[in-house]
Structure 1
Amino acid sequence: MELQLHDVWFVLIAVLWTGYFFLEGFDFGIGVLTRLLARDRTEKRVLINTIGPVWDGNEVWLVTAAGATFAAFPEWYATLFSGFYLPLLVVLLCLILRGVAFEYRVKRSGEQWQRNWESVIFWTSLLLATLWGVIFGNIVRGLRIDRDLEYVGTLGDLLNPYALLGGVTTLALFTFHGSVFAALKTEGEIRDRARRMALRLGAVTAVPLACFLLWTLLLRGEAPSLVAAVLTLSALAAAVLAGRAGREGWSFVFSGLGVVGLVAVFFLALFPDVMPSTLDESWSLTVTNASSSPYTLKIMTWCALAATPVVLLYQSWTYWVFRKRIGTRHIAVSH
């Protein structure tokens, strides 16, 4: 079968979402761990500082994924953003409040002021980690899409057991990913506790992850998604074993591969659909009927080839510059 540009852009959008969840996964996990791992406000600052230089750069992947979807698959974008209007509005508000919390938290020295913004970081991180699983769970499961390629369901239809399990799965997996990142980026007592928590969270995450992957395979699974599901669970197990052996770098690599594997299962289970219809299979949005013209995709491909290496080099350089561990001794007493 000849590879078409709309197939290429489906893969590229999958790569963009993979990059977003890989990076923002531990980002959200750190936000959740400010309540679960940190014992005092100094340790909260240590955790927040591990992602301080990179959290906003991580969100570039989301903006790019949304923009690429709008340009390459306008029908997909239109149906997605109209059908998920309220959930995506909550996502947008959480992203705004989370960004404001990072910046405003230290603008005043009052303890209550800083505690309030730290609470915002925790709750928005928890909601975002959960909502993305619910949204993608609904996309994979299928939606009430009519012959006009429009979503005709209700908000209640989105709160089905499969999608809610997807939300629990992404919340658990991202929190585990964040605990591994915390062990990699911190020092002293908080590092030791992060390692121990990662081992516990790995065992906890395995249960909803295995159930969700099995349910996904029963819904839309084929050989490629089965392989991706097996590799996802294997990566989770390898991350736990590497963490137990004190190999924090390898543990982070494997936890990241677990996130990558989950996203791969999503998109492999979908293809060639982008939004399946539960009303009539012929009404599903596919890479063919939802895509832009071949000329548009061709121009986009050349632009992506020119811009993508620059973005990757810049972001890699950022992580290299801020690669060192931090601990409570790096937190100024005056703060």
Structure 2
Amino acid sequence: MELHDVWFVLIAVLWIGYFFLEGFDFGVGVLTKLLARNRPEKRVLINTIGPVWDGNEVWLLSAGGATFAAFPEWYATLFSGFYLPLLLILVCLIVRGVAFEYRAKRPEENWQRNWEHAIFWCSLIPAFLWGVAFANIVRGVKIDQNHEYVGTVLDLLNPYALLGGLVTLTLFTFHGAVFTALKTVGEIRERARRLALFVGLATAVLALVFLLWTQVENGDGQSLVALVVAVVALVAALAANQAGREGWSFAFSGVTIVAAVAMLFLTLFPNVMPSSLNDAWSLTVTNASSSPYTLKIMTWCAVIATPIVMLYQGWTYWVFRKRIGTQHIAADAAAGSAH
């Protein structure tokens, strides 16, 4: 296997890790409107992800940095062609982080409510747009012979991509509901499990249609295996949720995300960004990659740094592993920060 193939796999792993981890905290952000009934419950939801949400975003930074260094042509075409949706995602991530920190800085009702609106919308919009973006990458976009995107923003809003956005939105919300049930106690835990059932069923329908569409258009034997794993894992997550086994349900919902994203990358390879105008103009792991020397240096850096980052993040999750509920929220701190 050539180094550019290795780095395609590593970038896929980074995106899988990002969607697995950031997926549930996007979902929890959406649930602050759908599940929480009062301010202490909103505080509980925010506190379930408070210690980890910023660490989860490290995976996005790593994926973007790795793409820039390993496949500069891919990075340039992607960020120029998808400039507006990616800018909107970036703005949402910034505002969302500020909202977590600033929500509790003042006691006024309007102040806190406005930041809660920001958390909701800045979780929902990226959860939807990431699906739109990746669906377009797999489907192919208008790239000319100079490897430049020549389409418009409206070209990205096609039925396949919009369906992909709905899949990631509902899947992340389901993942977040299961995570909430795993991390909370009391009535909010029970409501999270009930909501997870309904969201999970909607996710199953949308995901099955989207993944079958992807398989028919671009799939092979390997992607078919990933599709089957994703479907079976989602069914298992729903069954475990109904049985009250939140740990297993969260694990299976995570496997669903892993398998679904892996399927997208399997259908994409060896392309990194197909051209819908002419197959010969597509960006591939070969014509979009950096020099072998650059990839070699990157590989050594990854071998050294990756285990350290993963150990630290794993330790963070272990430290903050206990369940919480409204009884843990002080009456005079119902609007507390995300820590």
CA distance in 2, matches of 1:110, 1:316: 37
TM-score, normalised via structure 1 length: 0.99
Aligned counterpart, 2:53: 55
The aligned counterpart of 2:114 is 116
Give the Cα–Cα distance (whole angstroms) in 2 for the partners of residues 100 and 244 of structure 1. 36
Question: What residue is the counterpart of 1:36 in the other structure?
Answer: 34
Once the two structures are superposed, what CA deviation does each residue of 1:89-110 show, in whole Å capped at 9, x if it has no partner? 1011000000000000011111
Letter in 2 for 1:243: N
Structure 1 residue aligned with 2:308: 310
Structure 1, residues 5-45: CA drift from partner, whole Å, max 9, x if none? 00000000000000000000000000000111111111011
Counterpart Cα distance in 1 of 2:83 and 2:34? 31
Distance 1:186 1:71 in 2: 41
Per the alignment, residue 103 of structure 2 pairs with 105
Structure 1 residue 197 displacement after superposition = 1.1
Aligned position for 1:219: 217
Q: Residue 81 of structure 1: CA displacement? A: 0.3
Of 133, 136, 139, which aligns to 1:138? 136
The aligned amino acid for 1:76 is W
1:74-93 equivalences in 2 (<5 Å): 74-93=72-91
Q: How far apart in 1 are the matches of 2:202 and 2:68?
A: 37
Local SS of the residue matching 1:138 = helix
Task: Determine the structure 2 residue equivalent to 1:24.
Answer: 22
Normalised to the residue count of structure 2, the TM-score between the two structures is: 0.98
Determine whether 1:69 maps to 2:53: no
Q: Distance in 2 between matches of 1:103 and 1:173?
A: 26
Letter in 2 for 1:294: P
Q: What is the CA deviation profile of residues 271-329 of structure 1, one whole-angstrom value per residue up to 9, with x for unaligned ones?
A: 00000001100100000000000000000000000000000000000000000000001
Post-superposition Cα deviations, 1:155-188, rounded to whole Å, max 9, x if no partner, equal 1100000000000000000000000000000000
Match of 2:199 among 198, 201, 205: 201
| Equivalent residue number for residue 151 of structure 1 | 149
The whole-number CA distance in structure 2 between the counterparts of 1:186 and 1:202 is 19
What displacement does 1:242 show?
A: 0.8
CA distance in 1, matches of 2:200, 2:86: 29
- Any gaps of 5 or more consecutive residues in structure 1? none
Shift of 1:51: 0.1
Counterpart residue type for residue 81 of structure 1: F
AA in 1 matched with 2:292: P
Q: 1:168 aligns with which of 166, 169, 179?
A: 166
Report the AA paired with residue 295 of structure 2.
L
Name the SS of the counterpart of 2:264 in structure 1.
Answer: helix
| 1-structure distance, mates of 2:292, 2:82 | 28
Task: Tell me which residue corresponds to 2:331.
Answer: 333
Aligned match of 2:280:
282
Give the alignment of 1:253-292 within 5 angstroms: 253-292=251-290
Letter matched to residue 224 of structure 1: Q
Q: In structure 2, what is the Cα distance between the partners aligned to 1:81 and 1:330?
A: 44
Identity within the alignment, % = 73
Instruction: Say which SS state the counterpart of residue 4 (structure 2) adopts.
Output: helix
1:9 aligns with 2:7: yes
- The runs of 5 or more residues in structure 2 that have no matched partner are 334-339
Aligned to 1:323, which of 321, 324, 333? 321
- Aligned equivalents of 1:261, 1:31: Cα separation in 2: 23
Aligned to 1:232: 230
Q: Runs in 1 of length 4+ with deviation above 4 angstroms?
A: none
Partner Cα distance (1:204, 1:280) in 2: 36
Say which SS state the counterpart of residue 120 (structure 1) adopts.
helix
Residue 196 (structure 1) shift: 1.1
Amino acid paired to 2:241: G
Q: Which residue of the other structure, out of 245, 270, 283, is the alignment partner of 2:243?
A: 245
Secondary structure of 2:272's match?
Answer: strand
Please give the secondary structure, in 1, of the residue aligned with 2:293.
helix
What is the SS of the residue equivalent to 1:324?
Answer: coil
CA RMSD of aligned residues (A): 0.5
Q: Which amino acid aligns with 1:72?
A: A
Which residue in the other structure is 1:189 paired with?
187
Question: d(CA) in 2 for partners of 1:28 and 1:229?
Answer: 23
How far did 1:112 drift? 1.1
